[in-house]
Amino acid sequence: MNIDIRQATAKDLADITSLFRDTVSTINTKHYNAKQITVWASGSDETETWLERISDLYFIVAEIDAVIVGFAYLKKGYYLDGLFVHKDYQRQGIASSLLRTIESQVIAEEFPEIRSDVSKTALPFFENKYYDIVKKQKKSFKGLVFENYIVKKIL
C-alpha cells in the first residue's frame, strides 16, 4: 500500500473538511462526550478558516490511490496544529507518514523542537513517536472545556 504525501490545495477543501468531521464524530467519541464532539466536529463548516490554513500554513495531505486518507498542518513553523486520519484508514501508518514529513519540515526550517496540543485519543500515537508530555491541560473552546495534552519532541 503506497501512501503519497503532497501539499494541500484549495481543491482539497471538501475532502479535508468531511474527513475531519467524520473522524471527530467517530474516532474521538471514545474520549469526548456528545456535546464536545458536536462542537468540535462543527469546525468542519468554517470554510474560510480551512482555506486560510491551506493557503497560509504548511498543510499536507496523505493519499492512497488518489483518495485523501489523512492530513496535517504546521503553524509558526514548529507547532503541529492538526493531524487527522480518515476513520476507515486508522492504524495503517498514515499518521506516521504524515508526521515524518511534518518533522522533516520543522528540521528544514531549523527549529529545535516540535510542539502540539493533542487529544486524549491521539496521545498513545505521540507517545509511540517519543513525544514528551509538557502538561495536561483544560482548554476552553466555544464554551466547553476539552482536556488535552501539550507535547513536544526535540528534533
Contacts with ligand COA, residue ranges (CB under 6 A):
23, 27-28, 83-85, 90-96, 118-119, 121-122, 124-125, 128
Closest CB to ligand COA among residues 54, 62:
62
Query: Where are the alpha helices (H) located in 5-46, listed in sequence order?
Result: 13-26, 34-41
C-beta nearest to ligand COA: residue: 95
**Beta carbons of 17 and 111 less than 8 angstroms apart:** no
Closest CB to ligand COA among residues 3, 13:
3
Q: How far apart are CA 51 and CA 56, in angstroms?
A: 8
Closest CB to ligand COA among residues 17, 92:
92
User: Shortest approach of ligand COA to residue 37 CB, angstroms?
Assistant: 11
Query: Where are the alpha helices (H) located in the chain, listed in sequence order?
Result: 13-26, 34-41, 47-56, 94-108, 123-128
User: Shortest approach of ligand COA to residue 89 CB, angstroms?
Assistant: 7
User: Shortest approach of ligand COA to residue 115 CB, angstroms?
Assistant: 12
Q: Ramachandran region of residue 143, left (φ > 0), alpha (ψ -120 to 50) or beta?
A: left
User: Shortest approach of ligand COA to residue 130 CB, angstroms?
Assistant: 11
3-state secondary structure of 112: coil
Cell numbers 504525501: residue: 5
Closest CB to ligand COA among residues 13, 129:
129
